[in-house]
Amino acid sequence: MRIDIVTIFPAFFDVLDVSLIGKARDRGILDMHVHDLRDWTHDRHRTVDDTPYGGGAGMVMKPEPWGEALDELLAEDSVLVVPSPAGELFSQRMARALADESHLVFACGRYEGIDQRVVDHYSARGRVRLVSLGDYVLNGGEVAATAVVEAVSRLVPGVVGNPESLVEESHEDGLLEYPSYTKPPVWRDREVPPVLLSGNHGAIAAWRREQSLERTRQNRPDLLT
């Protein structure tokens, strides 16, 4: 999979050099490129923002640098992903859909967002997804794009070593994941639930299912309705 990220803060994406994502890049499974939006400006101050029409607080990202950047990076088969608190809620389902694509381009806006005509223009010509991480506000799309890149790329075949570790996780079956334990069997007077030491695989599966349901009832009752 190829991933291009356009941002005015390329350093935000240095974290994608480490861990499993970094290894997948080293092995050529992920072909990831981070671009500075200011490389598509032409004035001395490399201006990317301006005051909003209609007034109000903050600045809006100008459409021209975005148009030049995205004209260069988008191809026929690309999906443009625009992180925005006004977007569709990101989910494991959306991560799976994006993991099937061959090319994702992330447009990370700052300030009060990007001139709406940019999304309108590329929506009329190709596939665009406005994606929100949740009901809170970040300063820009960079942290959200990092989360989306990680959630998507770990579903790309070969990125996560053991594909079985992908199926038993939170949200893959619509429930939260059951709790996990490892050695020692007793730690600070707390025992590992005995069923996990029983060797009875049917009983273990049933216990884990009940734990998943209970956690979901406690923390995310909305997922059960």
Enumerate the known binding-site residues for S-adenosyl-L-methionine. Answer: 109, 133-138
Whether the CB-CB separation of 65 and 37 falls below 8 Å is answered with: yes
Q: By CB neighbour count within 10 A (0-12 exposed, 13-18 middle, 19+ buried), where does 66 fall?
A: buried
Nearest to ligand 6GU of 143, 192 (CB atom): 143
Q: What is the DSSP string of 78-98?
A: -EEEEEEEEEEEP-HHHHHHH
Nearest to ligand 6GU of 65, 141 (CB atom): 141
* Residues of the binding site: 109, 133-138
The single residue listed with the structure tokens 């923002």 is 49
Nearest to ligand 6GU of 144, 152 (CB atom): 144
Q: Are strands 186-187 and 190-191 parallel, antiparallel or unpaired?
A: antiparallel
- Distance of closest approach, residue 146 Cβ to ligand 6GU, in angstroms: 10
Question: Binding residues for ligand 6GU, per CB under 6 A?
Answer: 83-85, 87, 131-134, 136-138, 140-141, 144
Distance CA 13, CA 69 (A): 18
- Distance of closest approach, residue 137 Cβ to ligand 6GU, in angstroms: 5
φ/ψ of 23, rounded to 5, equals -65, -40
Q: Which helix (H) or strand (E) segment is 191 a member of?
A: strand 190-191
Whether the bond between 184 and the residue before it is cis, its omega within 30 degrees of 0, is: yes
DSSP one-letter code for 124: T
- Distance of closest approach, residue 85 Cβ to ligand 6GU, in angstroms: 4
- Distance of closest approach, residue 87 Cβ to ligand 6GU, in angstroms: 6
- Distance of closest approach, residue 179 Cβ to ligand 6GU, in angstroms: 28
Nearest to ligand 6GU of 6, 175 (CB atom): 6
Nearest to ligand 6GU of 89, 224 (CB atom): 89
Chain centroid to CA 12: 14
Q: Which helix (H) or strand (E) segment is 142 a member of?
A: helix 142-153
